[in-house]
Structure 1
Amino acid sequence: MPPLEPPTDPAAQLQWLVDRAAISDLLVDFARALDDQDWNAYAANYAEDGVLDIAPTISHRGRSGLADFVAASLGRYAGTHHLSSNHAITIDGDRATARSYLLAAHVFDAEQPHRHADGAGWYLCRLRRTVQGWRFTHVTLEIRYVAGEPLLH
């Protein structure tokens, strides 16, 4: 389905721009929270019924427990570095979709930062406007390649 065209009415255009900026900020905060190991802030980016799918087999449903779920995986690394770019956002009222590119490095040991596992792909996201602002209702991570050392499982 092609993306919806931006509105032509000036007031609607302004809202469209504000919504796009808010969604892009959410995608950036999503990465920041992972790299800061701020698991609660990461989970707060999701709606209460939000879903995280790491294709093809890893999944978590609901905001409850999401912080612990992500911490159990990424908390094993000394640090991570997630880059989020190419935010392709489509807004349809109080619903939206976004596709953002991902490049991530996972450092095993802070004393040996040359040892890392890298991955790249994109996040396919569905979002909903809530009273707290835009929140993810479904995030699917599609990994396109991995490099360096193997990721921890």
Structure 2
Amino acid sequence: MSALQEQVRWLVDRALISDLLVEFARALDEKDWDSYAATYAEDGVLEIPGAARFEGRTAIRAATAGERGLGRYTGTWHGSSNHAISIDGDTATTRSYLLGVHMLSDDTFDHADGSGWYDCALRRTAEGWRFTEVRITEVWHAGAPLPHVSGKVAP
């Protein structure tokens, strides 16, 4: 492969990985659980250190969609920005900023928020780039306590 072909491949891969990060957030916020699960490799892992760890697409989908996951909220908004992407052949790592707003009711002032980073590992699969690991590191919270942070179950 020529230097130009390598550069083009890197640019395309970087765009595809950034698009996957955006799709991840879109699917969460539209409660499109199948599309969300499809962003992971079959053996993918979702981890919130100290709070939860799920392995495999089926477990990740069930936990996220359920009443103890994001399914409990009236609505959510997940912003993902500042995508730092490192590619090494058919694997990659990313770090992106996370801002998550979780609506507890139809009252727009009734919300639980968290922010930090998504640290992800990815691999190229027959389906395209997929997450092998998503680790959520939370740095701050605002509004009502998030259930996994406070140890309480949200209403």
Tell me if TM exceeds 0.5: yes
Secondary structure of 1:113's counterpart equals coil
Count of aligned pairs:
145
Q: Structure 1 residue 9: deviation in Å?
A: 1.0
Rounded to whole Å, the distance in 2 between the matches of 1:150 and 1:24 is 30
Task: Please name the residue that 1:77 is paired with.
Answer: 73
Question: Which residue type is aligned with residue 139 of structure 1?
Answer: V
User: Percent of aligned pairs with the same residue?
Assistant: 57
Rounded to whole Å, the distance in 2 between the matches of 1:135 and 1:141 is 16
CA shift digits 1:33-66 (9 cap, x unpaired): 1000111111100001000001123000011232
Rounded to whole Å, the distance in 2 between the matches of 1:61 and 1:71 is 15
Structure 1: gaps spanning 5 or more residues: 1-7
Structure 2: gaps spanning 5 or more residues: 148-152
Rounded to whole Å, the distance in 1 between the matches of 2:41 and 2:122 is 8
- 1:53 has 2:20 as partner: no
Rounded to whole Å, the distance in 2 between the matches of 1:67 and 1:40 is 7
Question: Which residue type is aligned with residue 12 of structure 2?
Answer: V
Rounded to whole Å, the distance in 1 between the matches of 2:116 and 2:33 is 21
Contact map agreement 1:118 1:146 (CA 8 A) in 2: yes
Task: Please name the residue that 1:17 is paired with.
Answer: 11
Q: Structure 1 residue 13: deviation in Å?
A: 0.3
CA shift digits 1:6-49 (9 cap, x unpaired): xx911100000000000000000000010001111111000010
Contact map agreement 1:86 1:100 (CA 8 A) in 2: yes
Q: Structure 1 residue 142: deviation in Å?
A: 0.3
Contact map agreement 1:55 1:143 (CA 8 A) in 2: no
TM-score (norm 2): 0.91
Moved runs in structure 1, 4+ residues, more than 4 A?
Answer: none
Task: Please name the residue that 2:101 is paired with.
Answer: 105
**What's the C-alpha RMSD, in Å, of the aligned pairs?**
1.1
CA shift digits 1:90-139 (9 cap, x unpaired): 000000000010001000112x1111011000010000000100000011
Rounded to whole Å, the distance in 2 between the matches of 1:10 and 1:20 is 15
Task: Please name the residue that 2:150 is paired with.
Answer: none
Rounded to whole Å, the distance in 2 between the matches of 1:16 and 1:127 is 14
Rounded to whole Å, the distance in 2 between the matches of 1:62 and 1:105 is 25
TM-score (norm 1): 0.92
Equivalent positions of 1:1-153 (< 5 A) are 9-72=3-66, 73-110=69-106, 112-152=107-147, 153=153
